[in-house]
Amino acid sequence: MDLQLSGRVAVVTGASKGIGLATVATLLEEGAAVVAVSRKSSPELDALAGPRLTHAAVDLMDPEGPAMAVERAVEVYGGLDILVNNAGGPPPGVKLPRFAFMTPTDADWLTMFEFNLFAVVRAVRAAIPHLLARGGGSIVNVTTGAVRQPGPMNVDYQAAKAALLNVSKALSEEYAPQGIRVNTVSPGPVRTAWWTEEGGAADILAGATGSDRDSVMDTVAPQMMNLSTGRLVEPQEVADVIALLASPRSASTTGSEFAVDGGFLKGI
């Protein structure tokens, strides 16, 4: 299916690995030009180099960072059609999971909201005038399945993403008449660096459960989270949904939330 993305311009945050990297690759395959936003590049991102890919070395924790990323797209490619706010999860230097409400401090809460909510708000604020100038476009915000099925782990992260879902719904209502669609994708546990990096979630859960990192990712975590598929989600599976929502083929889809979570969400 042609997603009709040829010639479109996209900004993708958290683009050097995981869901963001898969989204960049997918949009490029569909003919879009992409500004890939991350603090630093990666060998995998560098391997996608070409005239339709620009890396913006931006720290989204810098209040000016999101606008700098958007302006880079306008500067290089002449406008903006798609904004994918994928960056999120543990802020730089933070390791998750945290196991209880009393664990995060006020500073932890502020940092979590800065990265997972305020950076997105700033990116959207910067993007909207450019999307309107092109007659509309698509914003896709990445949240988490825990928005709908919260638990005691990572409560600050869940709260920030729940706020992002609320903001996304409000944006969709305000800007749909002007041609801007706003949707969210809520992944379950995805086999990304959050899990796989040394000292990441797999190692933390391995220490807590007396298991090993591979068993955590292959068996323990899917069982703990009651995933119907019995496995973690792959980044490409999330990227495919993001690309479809970014596409004009989804012209009547706005204000919607899509779970790509291996059956994590059990509610109706």
pLDDT by residue for the chain (268 residues), tens digit each?
899 999 999 999 999 999 999 999 999 999 999 999 999 999 999 999 999 999 999 999 999 999 999 999 999 999 999 999 999 999 998 988 999 999 999 999 999 999 999 999 999 999 999 999 999 999 999 999 999 988 888 999 999 999 999 999 999 999 999 999 999 999 999 999 888 988 888 999 889 999 999 999 999 999 999 999 999 999 999 999 999 999 999 999 999 999 999 999 998 8
Helices 65-77 & 119-133 angle (0-180, nearest 10): 30
Other Cβ atoms less than 10 A from the Cβ of 99: the count is 14
| φ, ψ at 202 (rounded to 5°) | -65, -40
Q: Which two tokens stand for residue 250?
A: 């989804």
Report d(CA 199, CA 149) in Å as an integer.
26
Instruction: Please give the residue range of the domain that contains residue 30.
Output: 9-190+233-260
Residues in the chain: 268
Report d(CA 150, CA 158) in Å as an integer.
7
Domain count, the chain: 2
For residues 69 and 140, membership in a common domain is answered with yes
For residues 146 and 217, membership in a common domain is answered with no
Report d(CA 203, CA 221) in Å as an integer.
11
For residues 16 and 98, membership in a common domain is answered with yes
Q: Report the phi/psi class of residue 154: left, alpha or beta, with left for phi > 0 and alpha for psi in -120 to 50.
A: left
- Domain membership flag for residue 101: yes
For residues 28 and 79, membership in a common domain is answered with yes
Q: Which two tokens stand for residue 82?
A: 């798609």
Which residues are known to be catalytic? Answer: 157
User: Any residues with CB less than 8 A from the CB of 99 and at least 6 apart, and which?
Assistant: 152, 153, 208
For residues 115 and 224, membership in a common domain is answered with no
CA dihedral 68→255→244→21, nearest 10 degrees, is 40
